[in-house]
């Protein structure tokens, strides 16, 4: 198949999933065209069958407001026509699904099919803005196929927007060969030379991630065990987190590593992953940690329980309950045997249920079904 993939290039789950999907599809012989305003952060190498197309800025002195949705539609039309795309698969509805709708109408419904994948806040937060909600509803109705990354997201989308159509749940996935355990890595001995325990969190530091809760829980953990907290990523809450770490006397125990390319190396060297989010439609970063054999202490919200199994691959605690988060972390950090059991269960779950080789064929079948079916469903 000839497949166009539209995504955000920035540090975040939807861009990661879209790019990894493109790489996997290209590896399975499809012709893949990734379209965005910059090369996605996970597209670090050259891949056979995969081309990146940059959306150019529309600049003219009259345009003080960003015309990205139109520029993106124009680029989708160009790529679809030049390369004979059959499927245009957009990740994150806003504004991608609207731009892609325009592109499909212009290229022709009989020629190009539109698939929209909802990732999370495009449905649960941003899409609910009164000015954006009608656009999300319309573009979901008009897509030829819609997928959501968890049952939770499918359900919440159906209850939020006035749509009767089918939404296919296709969970996120992980390359379990790349994200694999490495308990004796050199990274680990450099960060924790005296055998200290390593806790890790990865996110884009937006308020919804509640990164400060990870620091608050860590303060309680640190009072009982020698440990470091590694914070990977960047975003609006980072300065507040740095301030909290400083004021908590943890400046030497909390490392702000910023955006990391090889996040799997850090995960593989860690003992526990903390995910204190307020809303999380799936929690890709938790799955990647589990794949590295790292148990997850997360909140019990959104789609996280579909990934992290309480009492097996980690623990689930109420949002904001940092004491419970610390207690659960300590239950594993202070009992090596239990930690080992959870670590193996986390890895097993990632390999058995979420490996790239299991999930990508689900997308292929979905594309084929749409090409056979034709037409949108409303």
How far apart are alpha carbons 115 and 17 in whole angstroms? 15
Contacts of 52 (CB under 8 A, 6+ apart): 33, 34, 35, 36, 39, 40, 43
The pair of structure tokens assigned to 260 is: 């990391």
Q: How far is the CB of 221 from ligand GMT (least distance, A)?
A: 24
Label residues 245-264 b or e (16+ Cβ within 10 Å = b): beebebeebbbeeeebeebb
Using the minimum distance from each CB to ligand GMT, give the nearer residue, 16 or 328: 16
Q: How many CB atoms lie within 10 A of CB 306?
A: 18
Of 72, 114, 149, 156, the one binding ligand GMT by CB under 6 A: 149
Contacts of 145 (CB under 8 A, 6+ apart): 113, 114, 115, 116, 168, 366, 367, 369, 370
How far apart are alpha carbons 374 and 378 in whole angstroms? 13
How far apart are alpha carbons 165 and 146 in whole angstroms? 9
Using the minimum distance from each CB to ligand GMT, give the nearer residue, 151 or 331: 151
Using the minimum distance from each CB to ligand GMT, give the nearer residue, 275 or 330: 275
Q: How far is the CB of 48 from ligand GMT (least distance, A)?
A: 26
Using the minimum distance from each CB to ligand GMT, give the nearer residue, 209 or 222: 209
Contact set for ligand GMT, span 79-118 (CB under 6 A): 92
CB 125 within 8 A of CB 302: no
- Binding to ligand GMT by residue 17, rule CB under 6 A? yes
> Which of these ranges, 6-14, 135-143, 187-195, 293-301, lies near ligand GMT under the rule CB under 6 A?
6-14
Which DSSP symbol is given to 56?
Answer: P
Using the minimum distance from each CB to ligand GMT, give the nearer residue, 77 or 211: 211
Of 99, 157, 281, 343, the one binding ligand GMT by CB under 6 A: 281
Of 282, 363, 366, 367, the one binding ligand GMT by CB under 6 A: 282
- Binding to ligand GMT by residue 216, rule CB under 6 A? no
- Binding to ligand GMT by residue 121, rule CB under 6 A? yes
How far apart are alpha carbons 86 and 81 in whole angstroms? 10
Using the minimum distance from each CB to ligand GMT, give the nearer residue, 123 or 270: 123
- Binding to ligand GMT by residue 12, rule CB under 6 A? yes
How far apart are alpha carbons 159 and 356 in whole angstroms? 30
Using the minimum distance from each CB to ligand GMT, give the nearer residue, 77 or 208: 208
- Binding to ligand GMT by residue 208, rule CB under 6 A? yes
CB 11 within 8 A of CB 347: no
Count of residues of this chain found to bind ligand GMT when the rule CB under 6 A is applied:
19
- Binding to ligand GMT by residue 279, rule CB under 6 A? yes
How far apart are alpha carbons 26 and 13 in whole angstroms? 20
Contact set for ligand GMT, span 328-347 (CB under 6 A): none
Q: In the complex, which residues of this chain contact ligand GMT (CB under 6 A)? A: 8, 12-15, 17, 92, 119-121, 149, 172, 208, 279-284
């Amino acid at each position: 198949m000839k497949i166009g993939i539209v995504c955000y290039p920035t540090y975040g789950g939807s861009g990661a999933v879209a790019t990894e999907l493109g790489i996997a599809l290209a590896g399975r012989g499809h012709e893949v065209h990734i379209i965005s305003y910059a090369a996605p952060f996970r597209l670090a190498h050259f891949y056979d069958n995969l081309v990146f197309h940059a959306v150019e800025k529309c600049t003219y002195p009259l345009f003080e407001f960003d015309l990205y949705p139109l520029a993106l539609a124009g680029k989708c039309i160009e790529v679809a026509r030049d390369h004979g795309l059959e499927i245009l698969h957009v990740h994150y509805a806003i504004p991608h699904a609207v731009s892609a709708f325009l592109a499909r109408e212009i290229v022709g419904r009989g020629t190009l099919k539109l698939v929209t994948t909802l990732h999370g806040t495009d449905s649960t937060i941003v899409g609910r803005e009164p000015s954006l909600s009608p656009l999300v509803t319309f573009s979901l109705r008009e897509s030829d196929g819609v997928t959501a990354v968890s049952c939770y997201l499918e359900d919440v989308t159906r209850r939020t927007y006035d749509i009767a159509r089918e939404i296919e749940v296709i969970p996120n996935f992980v390359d379990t060969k790349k994200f694999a355990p490495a308990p004796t890595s050199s990274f680990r001995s450099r960060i924790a030379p005296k055998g200290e325990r390593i806790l890790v969190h990865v996110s884009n530091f937006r308020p919804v991630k509640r990164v400060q809760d990870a620091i608050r829980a860590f303060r309680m953990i640190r009072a009982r065990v020698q440990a470091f907290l590694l914070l990977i990523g960047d975003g609006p809450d980072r300065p507040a987190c740095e301030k909290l770490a400083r004021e908590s006397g943890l400046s030497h125990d909390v490392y702000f590593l910023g955006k990391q390319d090889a996040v799997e190396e850090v995960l593989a060297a860690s003992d526990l992953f903390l995910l204190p989010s307020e809303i999380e439609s799936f929690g890709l970063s938790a799955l990647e940690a589990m794949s590295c054999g790292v148990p997850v202490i997360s909140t019990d919200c959104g789609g996280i329980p579909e990934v992290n199994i309480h009492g097996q691959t980690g623990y689930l605690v109420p949002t904001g309950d940092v004491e419970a988060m610390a207690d659960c972390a300590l239950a594993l950090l202070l009992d090596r045997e239990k930690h080992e059991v959870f670590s193996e269960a986390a890895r097993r779950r990632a390999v058995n249920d979420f490996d790239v080789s299991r999930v990508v064929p689900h997308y292929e079948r979905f594309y084929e079904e749409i090409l056979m079916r034709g037409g949108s469903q409303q």
